[in-house]
Amino acid sequence: MNTTQHNNSSSAIRGNSTKPMSAGLRAFSPIVLAAAIASLGSSTAQAGLLGLSANLGLGIGIGGGVTVAQTIMIDAQSPPVLLTGLGSSLVYRLIINGQASEVVQVQYANVVVIGGNYQWATLASLVLNGSGSATEDVSVPLGQAWVVRVEVHQNPPPPPPPPPPPGPSPDSARWAQISAGTFTMGSPETEYDRSDDESPQTQVTISHGFWIGRFEVTQGEFTAVVGPNPSAFSGDDEPVEQVSWNDATNYCALLTAQERSAGRLPDGYAYRLPTEAEWEFVTRAGTTTRFSFGDDHSYTDLANSDGTAHDVGGKQANPWGVYDTSGNVYEWCGDLYGPHPGGSVTDPTGAASGSSRVMRGGSWRKAGGDTRSAARNFNTPEVVSDGIGFRVVLAQTQP
């Protein structure tokens, strides 16, 4: 605790003692002390009493109705240290130092009160500025003998957490932003054309938001990142096919590196394949029917493939604006293939072991039942086919 007094008055006021006042007062009769304060009428008597109070470590104020400007520097701390030797009816400018945003109180007590404990009253409550300081002019009622302290009334609030790193801003025409949510994965046993591996139905929570391509990766996009076009069909806007799971994950890694190098992808984000749970969450888009557009038991609403893959985005989008989730080409997922876990799970990532990877969505080669929202398929990572492509997710690497 540091206190520095700068006297602007003609008579120096001593008062830097930190000895408790009540200890000194016990040596005097309260009647005699009060009478001595009241009888101060000359400068000689005032100076004598000030000298006595300084020698005894007392902070006794003298009231004469004259204001003397005095600047005192004081630290806000716990426990507080007392300022002594301060006269009543005088104005003191306190320069208070502490922690930024700290809440402090300037308090005073009448030293004539006997009994070992001061009765503190508040002169001012202050919030220290961003530099941890404040200035306050204070005085107390005329005729009081008093001491002052600055008490920490409330610690500053903890600093706010650092802002999250800026996220990517993908083109909304090509990327759908997906919010976290919960859905039921799999199909009920009563669903028409279902397979056994769609059981047990599982309540899945996706705890993080992400972006997913509105379209399957096209041949034009693939060749811009990887190079040669492996597809059996030809067209920049057709989905790339005849790509293995290894080819798809390699594309994601190269795209991540390319976009990060160009300054378009912040650290902490990456392109990858969707998990199987993310894929079905997006495909259902809040629906519980066989397809996002309804049950369609006769498959009359399912667009005819005409025996070939077609340009991406040429059919109707699902309710979340994502295209070709039923048909066109199968889409690789990141997961190893295995049974659904059942119960309630959060952010599942597939089987812990196995040799095959999940494919979803069906293809132009498959029957309508294979394109349902819950329908599953799988293959080993090196397999290629003109009915297999992929779709990409953009997400935080550690959400």
Q: How far apart are CA 60 and CA 53, in angstroms?
A: 6
pLDDT for res 87: 67
Residue whose entry in the numeric block shows the structure tokens 């196995």: 354
pLDDT of residue 32: 24
Point out the residues of the chain with pLDDT beneath 50.
1-66, 68
pLDDT at 120: 82
Which residues have CB under 8 Å from 281's CB, separation 6+? 178, 181, 183, 185, 204, 206
Q: What is the pLDDT of residue 112?
A: 65
Parallel/antiparallel/unpaired status of strands 357-360 and 376-379:
antiparallel
Decide: 127 and 101 in contact? Cβ < 8 Å: yes
Q: Identify which of 83, 64, 52 has the alpha carbon closest to the alpha carbon of residue 9.
A: 64
Q: What is the DSSP string of 114-126?
A: -SS----EEEEEE
Quick one: pLDDT at residue 57?
A: 28
Question: What letter does residue 127 receive in the DSSP assignment?
Answer: E
Distance from the Cα of residue 242 to its chain's centroid: 43
Tell me what pLDDT residue 30 has.
26
With beta carbons less than 8 A apart as the criterion, state whether 328 and 363 touch.
yes
Q: What angle do CA 78, 82, 84 make, to 5 degrees?
A: 170
How many CB atoms lie under 10 A from the CB of residue 293? 16
Provide the 3-class DSSP secondary structure of residue 373: coil
What local confidence, expressed as pLDDT, does residue 399 receive? 58
pLDDT value at residue 398: 72
pLDDT score of 106: 85
pTM over 0.85: no
pLDDT for the residue numbered 26: 28
Residue 243 has what pLDDT? 98
Q: Which residue has the tokens 């293995």?
A: 244
Per-residue CA distances from 202 to 196, 274, 316, 347, 374 (Å): 14, 18, 28, 12, 11
The amino acid that residue 189 corresponds to is E
Query: Beta-strand (E) ranges in 237-387?
Result: 269-272, 330-336, 343-346, 357-360, 376-379
